[in-house]
Chains A and B, each alone.
Chain A
């Protein structure tokens, strides 16, 4: 097996440091009983920015006898050289070919990275199709947000882990270690029958799918008693009790998020109806401020980074953000470490926060009203008014900002041309506000509009996606309407949104087209300069598949979806009701601090919302942290805004509806 990337190969490609490893903090375990490759199906700079793998890398490498190593998709220039010279894709650490690992774990971050998974397996010497994988080959395991509908990849992976991996992955690896020690009883099948007993594990070959005449799903049923009818995701009940990496790998080159990523909390309770992450990562669970500060100090010591980004789905919602930020800034001022937030909420508080973290840097603020008209914002449950936005930008302008970037989506369910044009009007209003406040013109507004893609487990999972023509037409409307001084309009390529939509709500039959498109040269579909829409369309056609069936069809109220045996624990009834409320433009409030809306997650998982908000935060008094479970048992929930007062808690996870 040839694994060497020679001097001339590395000298010929762009960014050769992508392929050579050796970064500070990387962990080399030459001897290991079990080796898992954490394979990210995109280039190094993207993959290295992914927090999930940072967490798992450190967690797994703490286990005795078990090694986690990293692998990334070689960019096209390197792939070409590797194929010409028969060089196998290896991990960065001990340079094991993927085929030499015991397991290869991929994260499903984005539908358009699927072809890269096939390509990496192939380059790594692993059979691409699970059914063809021999006894000596590694198991291919997947996880990540798209794992709640991994069906288009069902032919490729051996098993999946649903939800958070901190507890589940070590269980899986220990299970593998035991099976290997015992001499691999029952072969590959034997292991799958073992691992499927771990909660959260899904083995696609253990399920049969039958279809109705109209091509919709009739049923998905287990074909072995070992496989549960539905697999429910795993979550960590208390994030304060799981390891968070304190010495992550520090890359040599610049990566996408080249800074410390401090995960404040998981989940989001806002309930935006288009948002996949907002549903599948529930419930909200915050890390305690003192835990976060301790991690931050260790990370700064161990990485030398100059910036800490406070990440989560909506960091401004962190319950004690104000005092926490003050402390962080004070802690790190002398060490020349800055603190930043990846996103802002639309309110004056956020501008206040931005002021603190950005100090004098007036680079521009970004807000995401998501839709232009109030009507549409109500449809998607954004819960933000025009007044809120103008209020927020006023605060920004008063504090010296001159540039604003606004994020929108077009193609939301029920959208009219008027709603589309309201995007441009909103941008104008922001400019007027600037004039009103500063008495001057010249406010730069960037309007960015992506095309909405309906996702599984959202209120819009039933809704048709706009056709390509419709997307183009609406983009055209906005191009016209934003042809104004100091307004820049950015939009995304509609073709990639269409393919993303097909795979997001696709089923197992798409596997064939995926394989064919990959064989015909598709990879890096998320990269606009490489993506080839026509080749995709042809591949679908050649497999007898109709893309419109997946993306543009209004799904029936009672339709069985291909993903329903895979449960993020959000009730179908809740989503259906949200869809109805969307059509009636009725809002659903945030559930973070009190009123449960009955999405089902907390009850079914037996994990409450954890938010430290209902008391003022004082670090000096935070010495004795009583575990949440004890608090719940003791009925003391007055100081914690947890969900114990809500019906049915703490109950154990129920079954799917």
Chain B
């Protein structure tokens, strides 16, 4: 049996790294005394994984942990115990249970929903219009290691349209981003694209990025929740 939890990474802990987040989840599972399965061998590892790696600084309400169990448990009771063992800034939003050999959650994720809030009040409406109307919008993605290697991606393949709300001293962007087997694109790169292609001066480093959801997408393009949720919290 495999438990799957939807958990959060909220504002107060947004700056812990993915590795730190993973370790924290592992320790919480141990504190919650969930009957986790371990790998064989001298250095046994708990069999759990996270569905996606979130960038440091990004808040998320849709992180997914899969935990393989050594013995079956009541998922709701497990979620409750897990919840109590988590630090502030991580909450359990949903749980379900599947067969151990069910496909990994990451392989079924088809898209993510984002909200980005930027302390900036320039004119963004026409850039948003242009972006939404464009067939393709190319972005040159710098590969992190080898500097010469620049990967060109079509932003529109991932993000078909976006909306913007202007407030007194900030601008909020809202969009969905496609996830494929070959990966996805980072929310922050959308901002870089807007700056480069439309001459905006968004202070990218100050952007408050939140992943609101992660979901499956069927052939018809319909969005489905990641879990067959048994238990949900607000």
Cβ-defined partner of A24 (8 Å) among B12, B21, B27, B57? B27
Distance of B2 from chain A, by nearest CB (Å)? 19
User: Which of these binds chain B: A296-304, A500-508, A545-553?
Assistant: A296-304
Helix, strand, loop or mixed for chain A's interface? loop
Distance of A337 from chain B, by nearest CB (Å)? 9
Cβ-defined partner of A253 (8 Å) among B20, B44, B46? B20
Interface residues as binary, B26-53 with A (CB distance below 8 Å gives 1, 0 otherwise): 1111110100001000101010000000
User: Which of these binds chain A: B81-89, B99-107, B216-224?
Assistant: B81-89
The answer to whether A125 has its CB under 8 Å from any CB of chain B is: no
Can you list 15 A-B pairs, Cβ within 8 angstroms, ordered by A?
Answer: A7-B208, A8-B206, A16-B15, A24-B24, A24-B87, A25-B87, A252-B87, A253-B16, A303-B31, A304-B26, A304-B31, A304-B85, A336-B38, A336-B44, A359-B42
Residues of A with C-beta under 8 A to B44:
336
Q: Give the contacts of B71-104 with A (CB-CB under 8 A).
A: 85-89
Distance of B224 from chain A, by nearest CB (Å)? 32
Q: Which residue of B lies closest to A250 (CB)?
A: B27
Residues of A with C-beta under 8 A to B185:
none
Residues of B with C-beta under 8 A to A17:
13, 15-17, 20
Residues of A with C-beta under 8 A to B56:
11, 16
Residues of A with C-beta under 8 A to B89:
22
The answer to whether B141 has its CB under 8 Å from any CB of chain A is: no
Residues of A with C-beta under 8 A to B205:
7-8, 11-12
For the complex, give the distance between the alpha carbons of A304 and B31 in Å. Answer: 5
Residues of B with C-beta under 8 A to A360:
42
The answer to whether B23 has its CB under 8 Å from any CB of chain A is: yes
Distance of A113 from chain B, by nearest CB (Å)? 25
Residues of B with C-beta under 8 A to A6:
206
Q: Is the CB of B86 within 8 A of A24?
A: yes
Distance of A123 from chain B, by nearest CB (Å)? 19
Cβ-defined partner of A10 (8 Å) among B33, B57, B88? B57
For the complex, give the distance between the alpha carbons of A26 and B205 in Å. Answer: 29
Q: Is the CB of A20 within 8 A of B15?
A: yes
Residues of B with C-beta under 8 A to A16:
15-16, 56-57
Q: Is the CB of B203 within 8 A of A8?
A: yes
Residues of A with C-beta under 8 A to B208:
7
Q: Which residue of A lies closest to B31 (CB)?
A: A304
Q: Is the CB of A22 within 8 A of B12?
A: yes
Residues of B with C-beta under 8 A to A26:
87
The answer to whether B214 has its CB under 8 Å from any CB of chain A is: no
Interface residues as binary, A1-29 with B (CB distance below 8 Å gives 1, 0 otherwise): 00000111011100011011111111000
B-to-A contact residues, CB < 8 Å: 12-17, 20-21, 23-24, 26-31, 33, 38, 42, 44, 46, 56-57, 85-89, 203, 205-208
Q: Is the CB of B87 within 8 A of A23?
A: yes
Q: Is the CB of B13 within 8 A of A22?
A: yes
- Which residue among A7, A19, A336, A360 has the maximum number of chain B CB atoms within 10 Å of its CB? A7
For the complex, give the distance between the alpha carbons of A94 and B173 in Å. Answer: 31
Q: Is the CB of B21 within 8 A of A252?
A: yes
Residues of A with C-beta under 8 A to B42:
359-361
Q: A303-B31, A305-B27 are in contact. List 20 more A-B contacts (CB 8 A).
A: A7-B57, A7-B205, A7-B207, A8-B206, A16-B16, A17-B15, A20-B13, A20-B16, A21-B12, A24-B86, A24-B87, A252-B20, A252-B87, A253-B16, A253-B17, A304-B29, A304-B30, A304-B31, A336-B38, A336-B46
Q: Is the CB of A304 within 8 A of B17?
A: no
Interface residues as binary, A328-369 with B (CB distance below 8 Å gives 1, 0 otherwise): 000000001000000000000000000000011100000000
Distance of A237 from chain B, by nearest CB (Å)? 34
For the complex, give the distance between the alpha carbons of A252 and B89 in Å. Answer: 12
For the complex, give the distance between the alpha carbons of A23 and B205 in Å. Answer: 25
Residues of A with C-beta under 8 A to B13:
17, 20, 22, 252
Q: Give the contacts of A7-54 with B (CB-CB under 8 A).
A: 7-8, 10-12, 16-17, 19-26
Distance of A94 from chain B, by nearest CB (Å)? 12
Residues of A with C-beta under 8 A to B29:
304
Residues of B with C-beta under 8 A to A336:
38, 44, 46
Q: Which residue of B lies closest to A19 (CB)?
A: B15
For the complex, give the distance between the alpha carbons of A361 and B20 in Å. Answer: 25
Residues of A with C-beta under 8 A to B20:
17, 252-253
For the complex, give the distance between the alpha carbons of A10 and B33 in Å. Answer: 34
For the complex, give the distance between the alpha carbons of A10 and B56 in Å. Answer: 10
Residues of A with C-beta under 8 A to B31:
24, 301-304
